[in-house]
Structure 1
Amino acid sequence: MKAFILAAGYGTRLEPLTLAVPKPMVPIVNLPTMQHNIELLKQHGFRDITANIHYHPEQIENYFGDGSAFGVNLSYSFEEELLGTAGGIKRMARAACVSDTFLVLSSDALTDINLGRLAAYHKEKEALATIALSRVNEVSEFGIVVRNDGGK
């Protein structure tokens, strides 16, 4: 299954850290956040990865290259102008000729979620889309999701 990493944004909420460094390259425990995500994807069997890039793209490309040093196949979708979340996903899916299920992960999503289990759940439910959510006490920093008891 193909995986996409959303890595094109400016990361303005992390300023001044992101004034000279793109958000995917901000270190957490001495590694860029995007490296944590690549390792998570690899751990769960995702080896074919595309990242959309825009802000300081050379830093991301120079660090990760083609992904082979990390045990994955990494390609890039450069956005001359930011396309937004949906636009970036659509462009990556078209470029990769993806017509089947794919996984999207934000470059700053630090999680230990079992992505293999999430993908299996998605297929089992024959869902059009599946979103992994986490309950938080303070919602002002995050979006609010309203769902029914069936998870829809």
Structure 2
Amino acid sequence: MRHALILAAGRGERMRPLTDATPKPLLEVNGTPLIVHHIEKLAAADVRYIVINTSYMADRFPDALGDGSRWGVRLRYSYEGPQPLETGGGMRNALPLLGPEPFIAVSADIVSDIDYNALPREPQGLAHLVMVPNPAFHPEGDFALRDGMLFEDGDRLTFGNVGVYRRELVASEPPGAFKLLPSYRRAIAEGRLTGERFDGYWRNVGTPAQLDAVRLDASRPA
């Protein structure tokens, strides 16, 4: 059974005032919360066990999403406490709920046409990241992609916040808050971070203006 982690613990400061009353992943596009976009796509990819990490307004998630049965999945919640643990710490904190096999991880605050079913079930290295062309807000990119491997040097693409991970990437880190970037860099140095390029629809939803743009896209005829 495939497992997945949806990262949903952030405060969403840049989305204020919308996030003063609602956690960012529960903001809606055409009446559907952002996080449901991922639950539906994961369910369509035969993922039946999904963990959602939470911190800010954590109680709102079970109230809105329940146990996942309406989508044919099982939802469990990994509470990080009142302060989020960053992406790395949040992933490590969720490991006991994710089982021993590689898992998909996706940030709740993106919208894309990435096919989760097409992602590798077993990454060649410690993780496999989906890279996208650099958006205007991140022109410098993150990593270079050559022959399916990721590097620090070269023409960089932006990490699209979707990947497949082995638990070994973060399992040896001490509990607490930490970023994933140092783990990625260690994996690159060891030749154990792979990737693929995605050129389809991908949007980050970090500000009210970005949310409005996604809502406008969703309202247009297909």
Calculate the TM-score normalised by the size of structure 1. 0.88
**8 Å CA contact retained: 2:134, 2:141:** no
Q: Counterpart of 1:40 in 2: which secondary structure?
A: helix
Specify whether residues 34 and 91 from structure 1 end up closer, same or farther in structure 2 by C-alpha distance, changes over 3 A only.
same
1:9 partner amino acid: G
**8 Å CA contact retained: 2:50, 2:75:** yes
For residues 112 and 142 of structure 1, the distance between their equivalents in structure 2, rounded to whole angstroms, comes to 21
2:8 is aligned with 1:7: yes
**8 Å CA contact retained: 1:42, 1:71:** yes
Q: Counterpart of 1:52 in 2: which secondary structure?
A: strand
Identity in percent: 31
Q: What's the counterpart of residue 130 of structure 2?
A: 132
Structure 2 residue runs without a partner (length 5+): 151-222
**8 Å CA contact retained: 2:80, 2:93:** no
**8 Å CA contact retained: 1:24, 1:108:** yes
For residues 35 and 28 of structure 1, the distance between their equivalents in structure 2, rounded to whole angstroms, comes to 10
Q: Counterpart of 1:48 in 2: which secondary structure?
A: strand
**8 Å CA contact retained: 1:40, 1:112:** no
Q: Counterpart of 2:51 in 1: which secondary structure?
A: strand
For residues 42 and 4 of structure 1, the distance between their equivalents in structure 2, rounded to whole angstroms, comes to 13
**8 Å CA contact retained: 2:51, 2:98:** no
Q: What's the counterpart of residue 146 of structure 2?
A: 149
Q: What's the counterpart of residue 38 of structure 1?
A: 39
Count of matched residue pairs: 147
Greater relative CO (CA pairs within 8 A, separation 6+)? 1
For residues 58 and 142 of structure 1, the distance between their equivalents in structure 2, rounded to whole angstroms, comes to 36
For residues 58 and 14 of structure 2, the distance between their equivalents in structure 1, rounded to whole angstroms, comes to 19
Calculate the TM-score normalised by the size of structure 2. 0.62
**TM superposition shift of 1:78:** 0.8
| Structure of higher CA gyration radius | 2
